[in-house]
Structure 1
Amino acid sequence: MMDCCGLVTEKKLPVPLKSIRVEVQVKSHVATVTSTLQYVNEEERHLEALFVFPLPADAAVCHFSAKIGDQEIVAEVQDRETARDQYDDAVSSGQQAFLLEESKESSDVFRLSVGCLSPGQNADITITYITELSVQADHSLRFCLPAVLNPRYTPAGSDAGIVSEISSCDSVPYTLTLSVHVSSPNPISKLESNCTLDPLVFLNSDHTQATLNLSSGHKFDKDVELFLYYQNTHQPTAIVEAGVNTAKPGSLMSDPVVMMSLYPEFPKEVMSSLATQGEFIFVMDRSGSMDCRMHYGKGAKTRIQSAKATLILLLKSLPMGCYFNIYGFGSRFEGFSPFNSVEYNEDTMVQALKTVNEMRADLGGTEILYPLKHIFRLPCYPEHPRQLFVFTDGEVENTKEVLDLLKHHAHSHRCFSFGIGEGASTALITGMAREGSGHAQFITGTDRMQPKVMESLRFALQPAVNKISVQWKVPDGITVDTLSPPINAIFQGQRSLIYAQLKGQSSESSEGSVIVEYNLKDQPVTNQLHFCLKPTEDTGLSVHKLAARSLIRCLEQDEKKPCAKVDDIRRRMVEISVEAGVSSVHTAFIAINKNNREVVKGGPLIQRRVPIQEMTRDQVNPFPRLRGGGGPLPPYTLEQAVAQAVDIDDCDVELEEKPRRSSGRKRKADSASSQSKSKPQMGSSLQLITLQKASGCWELSAALARVFGKTEDELTNQKPAQVDGSVWATLLSLIWLYGYKIQQQIEWQFVAMKAASWIGSQNAVSLSQCVCDGNHLLGCQVKEETLGI
C-alpha cells in the first residue's frame, strides 16, 4: 500500500500537514467540535489538491473557513452543482477557492478541494461540526475523533472510490492538540480516554463544568476516544432553544426548537424474564482487513480472533429452542446452514463451534450487500423474530444501498451492528442499527468486544416493543412539528432523541409535555416528560442545526420512496441546508478568495485512489459459494470442538488480561493460582463457557477440572453421594464464575441464567449442602441466593 494520502501533489507527494488543533465544547450529550488543520505548500508551483476525511455519520457540519496568511475566507452553503461551477470558474481564473462536500457514497466522508495554493503558502482550514454523543454499556457518553479513514472497499469494475486521509505508516509527521470543555446540568463524575490526558480541572464547586487537554507529545496514529461519565446519566432531559430574530418568519431557524432526550423505563416484572424465542443470524466480516490487529500494543489480537471469541460467547448464551445461523462474507459468502436457520440444540451448537474455530479472514473484499440480500430472501420462522448481528470493520463503498435494503426489510428483521477497529464507517454501523431498529456498538483499540456485544444480546432478548406513538401536549396557540423520524425501536437503558419545532405563541401555561406510548408484551406502557417552554440561554443554535440535520435525513429517505416528488424534496433539502448552514448531500460549502488574481501555471493535480492490498483481487462473484448442503450435519462432539479451538488460548488473553478502561490497574491474580504449585493453572471464563452444554449444564470431566485448577479426582471425590454428576459440575461452574469472574458478569450472565434454570428443572436435593461443599472445594464464599437457583 502506498503511503501518500490526504492533500497530494501532481508528483504524488503529500502536501505537508503541520498540525491539527481540535477544540471540543460538550454541553450535556451534544458536542461542538472545531478542527483546524494547518497545511503548507512546499512545492515551487501552484497547487490544487484533494483532502478526504471522516466525520461522525450524523454530524451536522455547520462551519468551514480557510485562512491564507492574514486573510480568512468563510464558506457559504449553496446548491451542490452551483458550488462546483463556482469553484471551477474561480480556479480557472486564478482565484483561490475551497469546496467542501459530503460524499455521495457515505455520509461520514467529506471531500475538500483546495484550489490554487501558492508556493510556500500556508493554509489553515477550519471545520466545525455538531454531533450527539452515544451512550455506552457502562452508561458513559462516547466522543470519537477519527484518526483514519480506511479505504472503502470498491467492487471490481466499479468507478467509485474514496481515498484515505491519514497514512498507514508508523510515524505521523504532524502534531495534535486537543482541548475539551464540558458543561452539564448533572455533576461530572469522571472523564477517561484511550489516550493520555492531563488532569481534569473542575471550574466550579458542583462539578458541572470542567476542562481537560490531551497530553503533549501525542501521536495521532489512532482514534482519540473520550468517555464522559455524568451522575444520573439516564435522566430524561429537554432543551428548548430560541430561534433567530432575523430569520424568515415561519422558517425552522426563526422558531424555538426542542430536543427531547428520553430514557424509557420498562416495568421490573417485564424485565425479570428475557425472551426464549427468536432467530439469531450472525454475519461475520471475513475480508482481508479483518486480519489487522485491534491495536498496536503488546499482545494485540487480530480483529477476526476477537470476533471469533465473541461469537463463541454468543453461541453459548442463546436460549434453548431458538433458531440460529452463521454467515461469513467477503467477496463471496459462506453459510453455516445455507438455506435456512437451524434449531439451537446440543448437536447444532457443537457444529457451529467447529465452524467458528475454522473461520479465517480469507474471503477477499468486503461485499456485505450480497449476504444480506440472501438472508432477506429466506422465510422467517413464525413466533421467532429474526435478529441480525453484523460484525465488520466497516470498509464498504455502497453504504447507502446497504442501508436502503435494511430499511426495506425493517418490518421483519432487526439489526445489531458492531464496528471493529480504527476507521470503521460510522455511517454504515450506526445506519444499519438505525434502519434495522437495533443498536450499534464500536470496538476500537484495547476495548473488549465481549461486554458490548453481550449488551446488544440483552437488548435483543428484551421483549419486543410495538405500537410506538409520540404525542405532544402544549398550550393553545402553540403547534408542534416533529423533525425526527418515527421511533421504531425502544430498549431499556437506550436513549431516544426527538427534535420538534414549536410554532406560535400562548399566554397560558409555560409548560408542555411529550408522551411516549407503546406496547410491551401486549401491555400498554406510558412514559411522560414535562418541559419548560421558555428557551434555554446560550445554546449557540446547536439544537437547531442538529434538528435541521435530522430533518434532512428524513427527507433523504422520502426521496427514495416510490412515486416521490424528487424535485420538490431536493428543493426542500437545499432550502433547509442553506437556511441552517449545515451540510447535505445536495449542497456544498464554497469559499472563494476574490482578491487573489495571480495566474496559475500548470494543470490540476491528480486524484489518487489508495489501493487495498489483498482485498481487491477477488472479482465480484454473482453466484456466491454457499457452504454445506441440505443434508444432516456430520457427527461432531463438544470435546472435539474444544480440542480444535486452536484460537481459544489466544482469545483467553483478550478476555482475561486486558485492563478495564476505567481502572488502569493490573488485573488481580485469581485466587486459585495461589494454591498448590502442583495443581494446574486456573483457566479462563471462555474455557469454562466453551465446555457448557446447550441446555445450560456442565459435565464432570478432566477439562472442567483444569479450568478450576483441580484434578478430575478431586471433583469426583468431593461430590455429595446423592447428587447427580452434572448437577454438581454445574453448581461448581456457577460458584467459580461468581467467585472468581464477577467483574466479567456482563459477559457470562446469560450462560449463568441458563445454568440456574437447568438446575431448577432437575429437582435436585440438598442444594444448600452442595453449595457449601462447592465453596469449600473451590475456595469461594458465594451465597446460594446469589446463584439464582
Structure 2
Amino acid sequence: MNCCGLLTAQKEPVPLKSVEVELEVRDHVATVVSTLNYENKEDKPLEAVFVFPLPGDAAVCHFSATIGQTQIVAEVKEKQEAREEYDDALSSGQQAFLLEESEQSPDIFSLSVGSLPPGESASIRLEYVTELAVQADDGLRFCLPAVLNPRYQPQGTETALQVPVHVKTSLVPYSLSFSARVSSPRPVSKVESNCSLDPLQYLNPEQTQATVKLAAGHKFDRDVELLIYYKDAHQPTAVVEAGQASAKPGTLMGDPVVMMSLYPEFPQAVMSSVASCGEFVFLLDRSGSMGQENRIGSARNTLLLLLKSLPMGCYFNIYSFGSSYQHIFPKSVEYSQKTMEEALKTVEEMGADLGGTEILNPLEHIYSQPCIPNQPRQLFVFTDGEVGNTKEVISLVKKNSGSHRCFSFGIGEGASSALINGLAKEGGGHAQFITGTDRMQPKVMQSLRFALQPAVVDISVTWDLPKGVSVTVLSPPITALFQGQRSLIYAQLTGEVGASSKAAEGCVTVKYSLAGHPSQNQLHFSLKPAEDTGLTVHRLAARTLICSLEMEEKERRGEQDEGVKKKVVEVSVQSGVSSVFTAFIAVNKGDGEAVQGPLVRRNVPTSSESALLIVCPLLTKLLSLHLDSCPTILMSVSQTSLSHAFYILTFAPGTNSRSKRALVGSTAPKQTPRDPLLQLVSLQKASGCWVLDPALAASLGKTSEEVENLKLASVNQEVWATILALIWLHGFKVDAQDEWQLLAMKAVSWLRAQNATCVTECVEAGNALLGCNVQKDVLGL
C-alpha cells in the first residue's frame, strides 16, 4: 500500500498539505468556503490534478489562488476558451489554475494546479452555495464528501470519467479543519454529526445563532455529515434579495430575486385515508460495491419491511441490477400471500454479485412495461450511486415522469448526490441518504408513506404583486407535493420593486387537486429586500436555471441546441456560477520570471476508509505509466493539451462484471441471527394477520404452551396471535415505530374486519403474558 498514488514516481509526498472548510448556514441555505493548501517540494515545476466531489446541486461561485504574496481571482468563461487560455498560460511559463465540472455528472469537479514553481506554495479558495435537504426527522442535512467512489462506466459510453485514486485514511497526507456557523429566524435546537464535534456554542440569548466545529484529530476518513435542527422549523418563508448594484437592470443579477420555501398542509380528511392501490416497483443495486458494510443485507431487510407493509390489492415487482439486470416476475403481479412469499424467497438469496452498476437498462425495461389502470406506479431505487452516466439516467426518468413517482436512496459513503437527488426531483418523488450507522428502514418507510399519499395533480402557481412589478419564474414547474415537505421556487422580480413602499407585499398561491379535492396554500411576503444575504439567493437561482437549461439542451441535442447552450453560458458568466459548458480560469499575468523546466503532473488522492479494491494491484504500473498492456484498464492522455492530460482510470467494456467480482470476492448472503423485530415481521401474512405457531411464540420470547394457555377459548387463533404481535411491537419496539407503523395499521384493519369479540380481554391477557402495559386504544382497537 506504499504505492497507492500518495507518492510521486520518486516516492516524494504529493503537494496537497491541508484542507480548511468554513460553513455558514442561514436557515436552509449553506455557503461553503474551502481552502486547499499546496506545496511543491520537487525540484521542477509541478502540475497537480485534484478530482473531488461536491453536492450535485451546488452553485460554485468563487475560485481564487494565492501564490506567495500574489492573489489571482478566477473568471467564468466558456469551457473551450478557458482550456485554451490555460494551455497558453502554461506554454508561456505562467502560473494558471483551471476548475471545471464533469460532463457526465454535475457533482464531480476537477482542479488543475498549473506550473507551480519548485519550493513554492499555493492556496486555492473555492466557494459554493447549496440548499440543504429536509430529512425524515425534520433535520436539515449538510454533507462534505470525503469520498468519490469509482464511477462505473456502462459499455458503449463515449468518454471515460476522470476518477481519482483512493487511499487508506492513515496514509492521507493532508489534514482537515472544519467549522460551521448556523443562523435562523427560529432557535437552533441541536446539531448532530457522524463525526465527533466540539460542543455547540450559542452566540445570542435567543439561540438563533450558533457555531460548531469538528473535534481535534479528525482524519477525514468519511463524509462529514451535519444534521441541523430548528424549533418549529418548517414554516413557509420568502426571502427577497436585492440585485447586484453593478449589474444591468432587467438581467438576472441586476434585478431582485425571491426564494420561496413552501410547506404544503393537506386537508386532514384526505390524509387520514391511506391509499390501498398502486404499482410498487423496487429496483435494487447488486453491484460488487454493495457488499461493503453489509449494504446488501440492510437492503434485503428493508425489502422485507416494504413487502410486509404493502396494501392488499396493489401490484408489485422487484428488479435487481449490476452489469446485467433481473426481475422476479415478468411483469408486476397482484400482491397476495403467494406472490409475497415467492418474492421474499428470492430476496433472501440476493447477494452483491452482479458486477458493475448499469442502471439505465433496467430503468428502460421498467418504463417499457404498460402502466396498470388505476394503479399509480411508484418506483423505489436503492443504489450506492457509483455510476458515470448520471445525466443520461436522470434524463430518462424525467422523460417518463408523467407515468410514475420515483423515490431514491443513496447508500453508503460517496453515493452521488447528483444521481440520488436528480432521480427524485425529476421523478416527482423524494430522496434519502443512508450513511454510516444509519438504519435504512425508517427512511425507506417514510418514503413509502409518501408513496401511499394520494398523488397531487393539476399543480399551478399564481402570483399577486403590486402594480409595476412583474415576475419571471426561474425554477422548473412543481411536479410533486408531499405533506409537510419543502418545495422551493426561485423567481426574478422586475420593475418598481425598490420604489414600492416598505409595507408593499406580494402573495403566491399554490393550487392543486388532491384525491379529487381542490386545495390551495397561500404565502404573503414582504417585498423589502433582506439584509446581509450577499448574492446567495441569486446564485442558487442561477444554478437552478442553468440546470433546467442543461436538461433542456440534452433533450433537444441535435436540433437548435446552440441557442440553449448560448443561454447557459450567458447566465453562467453573468452570475459567476459554474456550468457544464463553462469553467473557472485563473492566470497569473504578473511581470515575474517565467517558470523554468519541464512540467510534471501529479494526481492528488482522495481518501477512503477501505483501500480501493479496483486500483491496488495495478498502482505500481499506474505510477510508471505502464498501463498500455493491461487489458482491464483504459488510460488516455490528451495529445493536444496538458490541461486534458488526466489519467483516466476505468474498467474497459466487457470486463466490469468479471473483474469486479474477482476483486470484491464472494458476497453471497451469510446466515446471521435475525433482528427480533424483523423475525416477528417476517411471520406476518400478506393480509396483515399472524398465525399462532411455534415460530411466533419463539419470536415473542415464549413457548408454544405459554402462548396457547392464555388464549380465550372463544377467540380465533389468528386474532389472538395478531393482538400479541401488536402488543409486542408497542411494548418493546416503540422506538422503531417508523419501521413497523404501516404493517401494524394493516394488522389493525384485518382485526377490525374480523368483528372479533373479547378484544379487551385479549389485550389484557396479552399484556399479562408479555409483561407489558399497552392500552387497547394505543393499538388502534
Distance 1:723 1:745 in 2: 27
- Aligned sequence identity (%): 61
Name 1:417's counterpart in structure 2.
408
CA shift in 2, pair 1:289/1:400, >3 Å: same
1:210 and 2:217 matched: no
Matches within 5 A, 1:639-654: 649=672, 652=675
Query: How far has the Cα of 1:175 moved from its partner?
Result: 1.6
Report if the CA contact (8 A) 1:9-1:605 is conserved: no
After alignment, is 589-598 or 199-208 more displaced?
589-598
Residue 709 (structure 1) aligned with residue 711 (structure 2): no
CA offset digits 1:343-393 (Å, max 9, x no partner): 110011111111111000010111001111111111111111111111100
Looking at structure 1, the residues matched to 422 and 724 of structure 2 have their Cα atoms a distance apart, in angstroms, of: 43
**In the alignment, which residue of structure 2 is the partner of 1:260?**
260
Query: Aligned pair 1:91/2:126, yes or no?
Result: no
**What is the distance in 2 between the residues matched to 1:332 and 1:138?**
36
* Other structure's SS at 1:258 match: strand
**What's the counterpart of residue 445 of structure 2?**
454
Take 2:552 and 2:599, find their aligned partners in 1: how far apart are those partners?
41
> Residue type matched to 1:527 in 2?
N
Find out whether 1:619 has 2:654 as its counterpart.
yes
1:266-305 equivalence runs, <5 A? 266-293=266-293, 302-305=294-297
**Alignment-derived partner of residue 319 in structure 1:** 311
Mapped contact 1:330–1:365 kept (Cα < 8 A): yes
SS at the partner of 2:365?
helix
For structure 1, the 5+ residue unaligned runs are 294-301, 623-644, 653-683
Q: Please show how residues 374-393 of structure 1 align to structure 2 within 5 Å.
A: 374-393=365-384
User: Which of 576, 586, 594 is 2:589 aligned to?
Assistant: 594
Match of 1:107 in 2: 106
Q: Tell me the equivalent position of 1:527.
A: 521
2:77 partner amino acid: Q
Deviation at 1:621, TM superposition (A): 10
Question: How big is the shift at 1:489?
Answer: 0.4
The CA distance in 2 between the partners of 1:3 and 1:516, in whole Å, is 58
- Residue 554, structure 1, aligned to residue 548, structure 2: yes
Is the Cα contact below 8 Å between 1:325 and 1:335 reproduced in 2? yes
Distance apart, 1:173 and its partner CA: 2.6
Aligned 8 A contact 2:258 2:491 in 1: yes
Task: Decide whether the 8 Å contact of 2:15 with 2:604 is kept in 1.
Answer: no
**1:161 shift after superposition:** 2.0
The residue that corresponds to 2:530 in the other structure is 536
What is the one-letter code of the residue matched to 2:456?
V
Q: Which residue of 1 aligns with 2:664?
A: none
Which residue of structure 1 aligns with residue 621 of structure 2?
A: none
* 8 Å Cα contact 1:200/1:211 also seen in 2: yes
Matches within 5 A, 1:724-743: 724-743=716-735
State the AA in 2 paired with 1:724: N
1:36 is the counterpart of 2:30: no
**Greater mean alpha carbon deviation, residues 154-163 or residues 385-394:** 154-163
- Deviation of 1:493 after TM superposition, in Å, equals 1.9
CA shift at 1:270, angstroms? 0.9
Q: CA deviation at 1:5?
A: 5.2
Partners of 1:19 and 1:440 in 2: how far apart? 32
1:359 aligns with 2:353: no
Aligned to 1:478: 469
Q: Is the 8 A contact 1:331 1:619 kept in 2?
A: no
- The corresponding residue for 1:746 is 738
CA contact (8 A) 1:48 1:113 kept: yes
Task: Give per-residue Cα distances to partners, 1:168-188, cap 9 Å, x unaligned.
Answer: 454433221111111100011
Q: 1:463 aligns with which of 449, 454, 469?
A: 454
Structure 1 match to 2:645: none
In 2, Cα distance between equivalents of 1:19 and 1:259: 35
- Deviates most, 598-607 or 213-222: 598-607
Q: Is the 8 A contact 1:153 1:612 kept in 2?
A: no
| Equivalent of 2:749 in 757, 760, 763 | 757
Alpha-carbon distance, 1:594 to partner: 1.5
For the 8 Å contact 1:9–1:47, the answer to whether it is kept is no
Equivalents in 1 of 2:772, 2:5: separation in Å?
56
Query: Which structure has more RCO (C-alpha within 8 Å, separation ≥ 6)?
Result: 2
> Does 165-174 or 491-500 show the bigger shift?
165-174
Contact 1:468 1:519 in 2 (8 A): yes
- TM-score normalized with structure 2 length: 0.90
Are 2:339 and 1:348 aligned? yes
Amino acid aligned to 2:572: S
Note the C-alpha offset of 1:12: 8.7
Name 2:565's counterpart in structure 1. 570
The answer to whether residue 141 in structure 2 is matched with residue 139 in structure 1 is: no
Query: CA–CA distance in 1 between the matches of 2:672 and 2:139?
Result: 31
Corresponding position of 1:639: none
Residue 660 of structure 2 is matched in structure 1 by none
Indicate the residue corresponding to 1:122 in structure 2: 121
Question: How many angstroms apart in 2 are the aligned matches of 1:75 and 1:119?
Answer: 23
Task: Quote the offset at 1:701 in angstroms.
Answer: 1.1
Partner of 1:407: 398
Provide closer, same or farther for how the CA distance between residues 620 and 437 of structure 1 changes in structure 2, counting only shifts above 3 A.
farther
For structure 2, the residue ranges without an aligned partner over 5 or more in a row are 606-611, 616-631, 633-649, 658-667
Sort the Cα spacing of 1:13 and 1:488 in 2 relative to 1 into closer, same or farther, 3 A: farther
Deviation at 1:213, TM superposition (A): 1.2
Contact in 2 for aligned 1:288/1:363 (Cα 8 Å): yes
Distance 1:617 1:47, change over 3 A: closer
1:48 deviation in Å?
Answer: 1.3
How far is the alpha carbon of 1:241 from its aligned partner? 0.5
Structure 2 residue 512 is the aligned partner of structure 1 residue 514: no
Secondary structure of the residue aligned to 1:552 is: helix
Q: SS state of the match for residue 83, structure 1?
A: helix
What is the distance in 2 between the residues matched to 1:318 and 1:434? Answer: 24
SS at structure 2 position matched to 1:292: helix
Q: Does 1:24 align with 2:18?
A: no
Q: Partner of 1:560: helix, strand, or coil?
A: helix
CA distance 1:115–1:354, shift in 2 (3 Å): same
Shift of 1:564: 5.2
Report the Cα distance in structure 2 between the residues aligned to 1:39 and 1:714, rounded to whole angstroms.
70
Shift of 1:647: 5.4
C-alpha separation in 1, matches of 2:701 and 2:613:
50
Task: Work out the CA distance in 2 between the residues paired with 1:223 and 1:264.
Answer: 32
CA shift, 1:200, in A, is: 0.7
SS at match of 2:318: strand
AA partner of residue 598 (structure 1): A
Partner of 1:634: none
Candidates 758, 763, 775, aligned match of 1:766 = 758
Cα 1:165–1:498, aligned 2, differ >3 Å: closer, same or farther? Answer: farther
Say which SS state the counterpart of residue 62 (structure 2) adopts: strand
Deviation at 1:565, TM superposition (A): 2.9
Whether contact under 8 Å (1:552, 1:576) holds in the other structure is yes
CA distance in 2, matches of 1:252, 1:100: 24
CA RMSD of aligned residues (A): 2.1
CA distance in 2, matches of 1:280, 1:170: 44
**Whole-Å separation in 2 of the counterparts to 1:108 and 1:442:** 15
**Judging changes above 3 Å, is the alpha-carbon distance between structure 1 residues 488 and 766 closer, same or farther for their aligned structure 2 residues?**
same
Contact 2:115 2:595 survives alignment (8 Å): no
Q: 1:754 to 1:620 in 2, by over 3 A?
A: farther
> Alignment partner of 1:411: what SS?
helix
Structure 2 distance, partners of 1:173, 1:149, is 17
1:618 to 1:341, Cα distance in 2 relative to 1, 3 A: farther
Answer whether contact 1:87 1:99 (CA < 8 A) is retained.
yes
Offset at residue 691 of structure 1 (A): 0.5
TM-superposed CA distance for 1:463, in Å, is: 0.6
Task: Give the letter for the 1:536 counterpart.
Answer: A
Displacement after TM superposition at 1:788 (Å): 1.3
Q: CA deviation at 1:695?
A: 0.4
Change (3 A) 1:67 1:374: same
Count how many residue pairs are aligned between Structure 1 and Structure 2. 726
Q: Distance in 2 between matches of 1:547 and 1:10?
A: 45
